[in-house]
Structure 1
Amino acid sequence: MAEPTLLAAEIRDVTFGKDVKVVEPANLYGCSIGDDTFIGPFVEIQKDVAVGRRCKIQSHSFVCELVTIGDDCVVAHGVMFINDLFGTGGPAQGDKALWKSTTIGDHVSIGSNATILPVTICDHVVIGAGSVVTRDIVEPGIYAGNPARKIRDI
């Protein structure tokens, strides 16, 4: 029987602000993390991601390349960001020309197990747990569902 190649979670090539806390194991590489931010265990943050100041990225969340998260944001447990929309009918196979970016404004809270497709979310938004954000959110408020829709003002 063949032996697998074992890869360990690691933290490399990360620009950290002041007083950042990371709970291991975490897989962070090629990203930047702002001052006073907390990263929980079993989080992966890929290269070319920028996380703002005073954020909380809770356990088991995945932040893929091309995501920017503003200041004072909460990404709850198990949130998944997606940058590949399978525009050619299948995975981009690493062709970054097919990937799209996501921008999260300031004071955004994303509930557990939400999925965020490549979108822009304005400041002062709450995304409900389990929601799927498929379109840009341009007005502050509380959004929930699949696809996520505004359910009320904050």
Structure 2
Amino acid sequence: MEIGEDTFVNYECWFNTAGKITIGRMCNIAYKVTFITSTHEIADRVRRAGKPISEEITVGDGTWIGANVTILPGVNIGSGVIIAAGSVVVHDCEDNSIYAGNPAKLIKKL
């Protein structure tokens, strides 16, 4: 896990480090943000959660992630992004944009 210079991480954040997590410089990570880097392959009907896999999460410089956001494996969040509180990020996020919802969707380009 790497956290860039001048980045603020608030209370009760959770970092699943099965895969690498990289957070850029001058970011703000709000209360109770969850970074999930692991999941499972889909298996047969006897046990659907198959072989464990992990994927990296990357957060670009200057990004602001709101309270209670969940970021799923393999997501790349660009620089200067805002993720609204309570969002679930399942896909990559473009630089200088606002995302919100479950799943998080592009709301506005900044």
Q: TM-score by structure 1 length?
A: 0.62
RCO higher in structure (CA 8 A, sep ≥6): 2
The worse-fitting range, judged by mean Cα deviation, of 83-92 and 104-113 is 83-92
CA pair 138-77 structure 1, distance change in 2 beyond 3 A: same
Residue 85 of structure 1, CA deviation: 2.4
**Letter paired with 1:130:** G
Rg larger in structure: 1
Q: Would you tell me which structure has more strand in proportion to its own residues?
A: 2
**Letter paired with 2:71:** I
**Partner of residue 76 from structure 1, selected from 30, 44, 47:** 30
**Letter paired with 1:114:** V
Identical counterparts, % of pairs: 36
Please list the CA deviations of residues 88-145 of structure 1 after superposition, one character each: whole Å capped at 9, or x if unmatched.
43275xx5xx111101100111000000012011111000000000001124211000
Aligned partner of 1:87 in structure 2 is 41
**Letter paired with 1:105:** G
Specify every segment of 5 or more residues in structure 1 that has no aligned partner in the other structure, as ranges.
1-48
Instruction: State the distance in 1 between where 2:5 and 2:95 align.
Output: 22
Instruction: State the distance in 2 between where 1:139 and 1:59 align.
Output: 26
Instruction: State the distance in 2 between where 1:116 and 1:87 align.
Output: 18
Count of residue pairs the alignment pairs up: 102
Aligned partner of 2:60 in structure 1 is 105
Specify every segment of 5 or more residues in structure 2 that has no aligned partner in the other structure, as ranges.
43-47
Aligned partner of 2:94 in structure 1 is 138
Q: TM-score by structure 2 length?
A: 0.85
Kindly report structure 1 stretches of 4+ aligned residues shifted beyond 3 Å. Answer: none
CA RMSD of aligned residues (A): 1.5
Please list the CA deviations of residues 36-85 of structure 1 after superposition, one character each: whole Å capped at 9, or x if unmatched.
xxxxxxxxxxxxx0000101100000122110000011110000000112
Instruction: State the distance in 1 between where 2:92 and 2:103 align.
Output: 11
